[in-house]
Structure 1
Amino acid sequence: MPSPMRKYSMHVYNYFFYIAYASYLPFLSYWFAQEGLSTQQIGLIFSIGPLVGFLMQPVWGMLIDYYGIAKPVLVCSMGVTPWVMFLYRYAGHSFALYVFISIVLAVFASATLPVVDAVTVRHAKRNALSYGAIRVVGSVSFGLSVTLFGMLYDRYGLSQLFIAYIVAMLVMCLLSFTLDSGGRKRGEDGGEKKHGEAKESAPARRRGMIAEMLPLLKERKLLFFLIPVFISAIGPQLNNAFYSVYISSFGGEASSKIGLLYTVSSIAEIPVFLFSGYIIHRLGYVRTLTLVSLAGALRWFVLSLEPPFEILMLNQILSGVTYALFLATGINYAYDNSPPNTKTTAHSLFIVVYTNIAGIVASNIGGWVIAAGGYPLLFGGAAALSVIGAAGFALLGRAGGDRLRNSTV
């Protein structure tokens, strides 16, 4: 039986991991704006991460699965990314250099979050724990620390985010050495190979992955589900790229305001992550996704009015609730409405559409929309798209696309 220290080690790991994220993620687009980049340029930079991640994450995954090197990959990724990000400070007025740094950064950063999630899931299964309960610890640490980082940057300068990120990721590198080795090396299957049994080659594994995807692509119900997912995800991805720049346009101590607003949304996520299963069981997948999309439309509409800070605070509660519930419901729907041998692929496909594809489109288009009509047009358009997404989910429900009664959320 594992010791309590080892059993709950991933709680500690996730706690510090999301502190590292809080040190830079909410503030980076604001720093770009302070350096004089236009919204179009900021949007292009933010689209690089999803694009490179879409290409590189399968490569990292195959390397880890084939050679069992999750721990070295994490140490490499966390050791390199903050120093590459630090190079932004020396990009000057060369946008081409910003782009080059962003590409290199995305190559290494694309390995971090998926591997941390995979290691966390494996640890939870080995120790009879809930992944959700471990992930909630990350929401707590993010919410508690992001306000402190905002106050720190207002006092000592926003460029301190690079130093804070380097220190936080140094801590993560040290913690990564304490992890159990991840993945299985080539030829390992938990037991002895039978005499004469050939080891599976990397090309054979890739052909197996493609073969598993073919029946998934024939599932029309799942494909029709991904269309409103993409439409509804435009708003959250626009928010990821431009929310900090939007808040900075109000003036005042922008970093502190950004930190406080992100704290509110992170705290609001916690009960939703904990009780998402109950909510989905009560409402069903499709109804939950429809209502969450409508709630998202309300959130974007409020932002389009450029309200006072007190209203923005209340609106961030809606942000945390809609993000957590949409993610939990979408993942479970994809899992439940896919063939037995494609569950993981369906989960990955949902994440790719929600994060990568929607992120690429939203980041690139969003900068031009802001230049043409400002933030009222940006968030007004996001509200309209969320209503369209809600209608798509409602139509999916009328077509019999909800199989909640057969699922185990």
Structure 2
Amino acid sequence: MNSSNVLSIKLKFLYIFVCAAIACFMPFLTFHFQQKGFSYTQIGIALAVYSIVGVIVQPIWGFITDKYLNKRISLIITMLLSSLTIYIFIFAKGFYFILISMILVLIFQSSVMPLSDAYTYEIIGQHKQIQYGKIRLMGSIGYGVTALCIGQAVKVIGINSAFILFSIVMLLGAAMAFSIKFKGKNIQEKINASDIANLIKDKKLLIFYIMVIIVNISLGCNNTYITILIQKTGGDVSKLGLLWFVMAISETPILFFGNRLLKKFNDLNLFILAIIFFALRYFLDSISPSYIFVIAVQIMHALTFPLFLLAALNYLNRKTNPKMKTTATTVYFASSGIGAFVGNIVGGMLLEHITVFTLFKIISIFSVLCLALGVKLKKINLFEDYTLMANSKENNTSKLYDVKEAIIE
């Protein structure tokens, strides 16, 4: 078995563990906070804190990784410390202590996925036959199966069973990351704060990140308050596991054929298409007559999040230089966190005054508004590509002219 195949297998197992750990934690936080007696506003605040920690911490980990460490070491450190700090969260009591303990976990856990993505793309850079979509597909399977099983376990044993399994799976993931002996290319240039500023000053990347924020305002509301929607349409905690299972498994065809889709339709086209389907999905959620309908609608997850993720990461990989790839990726995840922060806190406050069905109508409309920026970004990139082609053609013509003159002489 050649080195690329070995790396591909190990990366698939890494994503299974990373996504399985997330499935033990994120989908059941709203239910956990309800069990603790939090109000809708408190749940919104707690999950807004969940998002904002990522906004702050992810770029810091990206900067540290690019400047001082490497992706593999940073990934191992964050996974190990995530598996340990979760026990503080398990035993925390009271609103403020729970928030503090959650922040401690998230200082490490929130950067695990962006570091995994950045490390995987670094490996793909030297092993072109490895496809990100097929690697990420295994993560979706790990997430879906784990969420389904944990939903039943939480109903029978209790919520702490999910958090203990989170710790175990994170340790397994760290061990798998340790076993990957890939060494990336040594980039002699070191980044500084001005490089990060220049990243944001790039007009097309700035628009891209703003779109990511807007989409994640709606996505943050969906991921947090779909628990409430399931309850209001007759479901219980075990149905949450089924819901997240359906969402995760629905990703697999898109992720499997992701590379072909990117080549055929272009990352920006897929990015915009995903936003259209986000809007339609949330609208259908808003008119759900039963939890069965809600779960059925989540099959549309296949046409939203995986398309959005594949297109976004591919776009960043194309548009950023090698020394900034980790930072660009972590800024993407931080932008997602900003959106989720706004969505969580505003969604919680709105739910004190409106129904969850109205909330989903609002986020559907909000997703539609993002399309205008998508069209703007598309135009900028088309103009840029046209300019590059024109310059390239002009240079080639100039070279041919020089050769012709040399022959004549």
Give the match for residue 193 of structure 1.
none
- Whether the 8 Å contact between 1:335 and 1:344 is mirrored in structure 2 is no
- Whether the 8 Å contact between 2:234 and 2:290 is mirrored in structure 1 is no
Give the match for residue 210 of structure 1.
194
Matched, 1:227 2:200: no
- Whether the 8 Å contact between 2:143 and 2:248 is mirrored in structure 1 is yes
Q: Distance in 2 between matches of 1:78 and 1:286?
A: 32
Give the match for residue 112 of structure 1.
112
Superposed CA deviations along residues 4-46 of structure 1, whole A, max 9, x for unmatched, are 5555222222222222222222112211112111222222222
Superposed CA deviations along residues 172-205 of structure 1, whole A, max 9, x for unmatched, are 3433432327678xxxx48xxxxxxxxx8xxx93
Matched, 1:236 2:219: yes
Q: Distance in 1 between matches of 2:71 and 2:329?
A: 20
Give the match for residue 375 of structure 1.
356
Q: Distance in 1 between matches of 2:44 and 2:195?
A: 36
Give the match for residue 386 of structure 1.
367
Report the alpha carbon displacement of residue 243 of structure 1 after superposing the two structures with TM. Answer: 2.2
Give the match for residue 329 of structure 1.
311
TM-score, structure 1 normalization: 0.81
Matched, 1:313 2:283: no
Q: Tell me, what secondary structure is at the counterpart of 2:215?
A: helix
Report the alpha carbon displacement of residue 113 of structure 1 after superposing the two structures with TM. Answer: 1.9
Report the alpha carbon displacement of residue 275 of structure 1 after superposing the two structures with TM. Answer: 2.8
1:63-142 aligned within 5 A: 63-68=64-69, 70-92=71-93, 94-127=94-127, 128-142=129-143
Of 250, 267, 271, 1:268 maps to 250
1:183-194 aligned within 5 A: 189=186
Of 278, 294, 304, 2:276 maps to 294
Identity score, percent:
27
Superposed CA deviations along residues 243-271 of structure 1, whole A, max 9, x for unmatched, are 2343234455x232111111111122112
Superposed CA deviations along residues 346-400 of structure 1, whole A, max 9, x for unmatched, are 55444432x1221221111111011121212221110110111123323544666
Q: Unaligned 5+ residue runs, structure 2?
A: 390-409
Give the match for residue 248 of structure 1.
231
- Whether the 8 Å contact between 1:64 and 1:70 is mirrored in structure 2 is yes
Closer, same or farther in 2 for the Cα pair 1:67/1:373, shift >3 Å?
A: same
Q: Distance in 2 between matches of 1:404 and 1:147?
A: 45
- Whether the 8 Å contact between 1:229 and 1:389 is mirrored in structure 2 is no
Give the match for residue 161 of structure 1.
162
Give the match for residue 258 of structure 1.
240
Superposed CA deviations along residues 87-139 of structure 1, whole A, max 9, x for unmatched, are 334333x2111221122122122332222223333344444422222111111
The structure carrying a bigger helix percent of its residues is 2
- Whether the 8 Å contact between 1:221 and 1:401 is mirrored in structure 2 is no
- Whether the 8 Å contact between 2:62 and 2:326 is mirrored in structure 1 is no
Report the alpha carbon displacement of residue 344 of structure 1 after superposing the two structures with TM. Answer: 5.9
Report the alpha carbon displacement of residue 56 of structure 1 after superposing the two structures with TM. Answer: 2.3
- Whether the 8 Å contact between 1:50 and 1:356 is mirrored in structure 2 is yes
Matched, 1:15 2:20: no
Q: State how many pairs are aligned.
A: 386
Superposed CA deviations along residues 200-228 of structure 1, whole A, max 9, x for unmatched, are 8xxx9343x524642x4444344334434
Q: Distance in 2 between matches of 1:172 and 1:140?
A: 15
Which AA in structure 2 matches 1:103?
I
Q: Tell me, what secondary structure is at the counterpart of 1:372?
A: coil
Moved more, 128-137 or 59-68: 59-68
Give the match for residue 61 of structure 1.
62
Closer, same or farther in 2 for the Cα pair 1:369/1:179, shift >3 Å?
A: same
- Whether the 8 Å contact between 2:281 and 2:297 is mirrored in structure 1 is yes
Q: Distance in 2 between matches of 1:33 and 1:98?
A: 13
Give the match for residue 356 of structure 1.
337
Superposed CA deviations along residues 302-328 of structure 1, whole A, max 9, x for unmatched, are 222243123222211112321111222
